[in-house]
Amino acid sequence: MERRDFLALAAAGGGAVFASALAGCASAAASGSYGAAGAAYKDFYFVQLSDTHWGYSGPANPDAAVTLKKAVASVNALPEPPDFIVFTGDLTHTTDDPVERRRRMAEFKTIAADLKVKTVRFMPGEHDASLDFGAAYKEHFGDTHYSFDHKGVHFIAIDNVSDPGARIGDEQLAWLQADLARLDKAAPIVVLTHRPLFDLAPKWDWATRDGAKAMALLMPYQNVTVFYGHIHQEHHQVTGHIAHHSAKSLIFALPAPNSQPNRTPLAWDAGQPYKGLGFRQVELEPPYKDAPKVAEFPVVRA
Amino acid sequence: MMEGHDTVPQQEPRPLAAQAPGEVGQAPAMHAARRQWLAHLGTLGAFGALAALGWRGARAQAATPQVVQVIAKRFAYEPSDIVVRAGVPIVLEVKSLDFAHGMSFPDLNLRADLVPGKPVRITLPAQPAGMVDFLCDNFCGDDHETMHGRLLVQA
């Protein structure tokens, strides 16, 4: 898919194209090759959905029972399908009842199975995993942390929620270090996770307790971008040369970091349903010297 | 929004690791020794002791911490506005009723894990007048996001 097609798609979908001018030096090449095997790749994109909180019921979203289904329909309606789709955590809303937790996860899976693109990567949020150390999540979705490669880009899913104390933990950090060790320092890396890896707003529990250790492991790599969720809003911040992009949720929006005393959901606006909710497309262009390009989409097209 | 602002990740908050069950921040032996010392101070007479140690050293040794009882439960601290005096070390005796909540003071880079049913003593250094935020940082369920409070430090 050529870049001009991507921009046209973004315009048609009513989304705004946000080009994060960061990591690495700009390259004029619109397509090229990357990868040890020397295979030639063309640009590709993936879709990030986040914080669907399936099972939530409350005034912040009277349409909670259908929001996720509408998002699935919107993703299915994209003119050009993404290569794959990721959910960056809080798939379900927390419950103390292990039976209800599993029921919500099963229901969520059923809804997600309606996605036409079948390559879907899940990861947990604290609502999914923190009360049982990820037990129910693993039964339904598999590993809570993992990595994979796609067209020469290395993707790493980091679990900072199975520990209720928001720790990645030494064992997973060792896994991360070993996973990174086999990569060239210039390799394009995309990190997917739920909580911010940096101290975005510790007073709001918008942090990872040992996130600094993960960041220290990532810093030697020149081409790293992080996509995460948890904070129910689009947010962009750089630490050193690494850009972090949080996603909107598909349940209710939250206020800007530390903008008010309480971290309470923004009120539902019946005149603008799904305001502040949405999903995004992330485009990567070989040879991946430019930072990934991000386009935000509403839940439903106007 | 903090766009374009370079931040360096802070190191993990220093844990107030319990030296003995229910005790956080100071070893029990030191507490007993301190109590004995204060008793001796009373018998010598305050002025004589101060002269012997020097004014600053005596003040630091003699500062009795203010102790506040706190309850932690899903999903609130009681009290959530904890009134303390400025310039005096603080001991919070925090009892969780139901869960291993956290109690984190990000501005002080200090935190502790609470223990259901057992008081945990959290020692904080003397604070200037103002407010210090704290929150539960161990995910505890549906309203975890509302579990937070403030030290109201009064001059």
Supply the ipTM of this predicted assembly: 0.87
CB B95 within 8 A of CB B72: yes
Q: How far is CA A68 from CA A64, A235, A281, in A?
A: 8, 21, 17
Over 50: is that where the pLDDT of A18 sits? Answer: no
Average pLDDT, chain B: 78
Phi, psi at residue A84, to the nearest 5°? Answer: -160, 170
To the nearest whole angstrom, how far is the Cα of B113 from the nearest Cα of chain A?
9
Residues of B in contact with A126 (CB under 8 A): 139, 144
Chain A hits for B140, CB-CB cut-off 8 Å, are: 164
Chain B residues inside the 8 Å CB shell of A131:
139, 141
Instruction: Give the pLDDT score at B56.
Output: 52
Kindly state the average pLDDT of the residues A74-97. 98
| Region A278-283 average pLDDT | 98
pLDDT above 50: residue A91: yes
The answer to whether the CB atoms of A203 and B148 lie below 8 A apart is yes
Separation CA A27–CA A147 (nearest Å): 27
- Looking at the predicted structure, is the pLDDT value of residue A31 above 50? no
Tell me the whole-structure pTM to 2 decimals: 0.82
Strand-pair partners of B83: B152
Question: pLDDT confidence of A26, banded at 50, 70, 90?
Answer: very low
Tell me what the mean pLDDT of segment A2-10 comes to: 47
Distance CA A137, CA A142 (A): 7
Contact status of A128 with chain B (Cβ, < 8 Å): no
The reported pLDDT for the residue numbered B59 is: 53
Whole-number average pLDDT of chain A:
90
What are the tokens at B27? Answer: 């070893």
B148 touches chain A (CB under 8 A): yes
B144 touches chain A (CB under 8 A): yes
Residue A41's pLDDT is what?
80
Give the per-residue pLDDT at B63: 79
Query: Who's near A149: CB < 8 A, 6+ residues apart?
Result: A155
Per residue in A93-112, pLDDT (tens digit) is: 999 999 999 999 999 999 99
Q: Does A204 reach chain B within 8 Å, measured CB to CB? A: yes
| B46-53 vs B28-44: helix crossing angle, rounded to 10 | 120
Which residue in the set B104, B107, B142 is minimally distant from A94, CB to CB?
A: B142
pLDDT digits (tens, 9 = 90+) for A228-258: 999 999 999 999 999 999 999 999 999 999 8
Q: B18 vs A76, B11, B64, B121, B138, CA distance in Å?
A: 53, 20, 21, 9, 17
Asked whether the predicted pLDDT for residue A191 surpasses 80, the reply is yes
- Span of A29-38, A78-87, A191-200, A201-210 with lowest mean pLDDT: A29-38
How much of chain B exceeds pLDDT 70, in percent? 60
Given a cut of 70, the residues of chain B with pLDDT beneath it are 1-62
pLDDT the model gives residue A258: 86
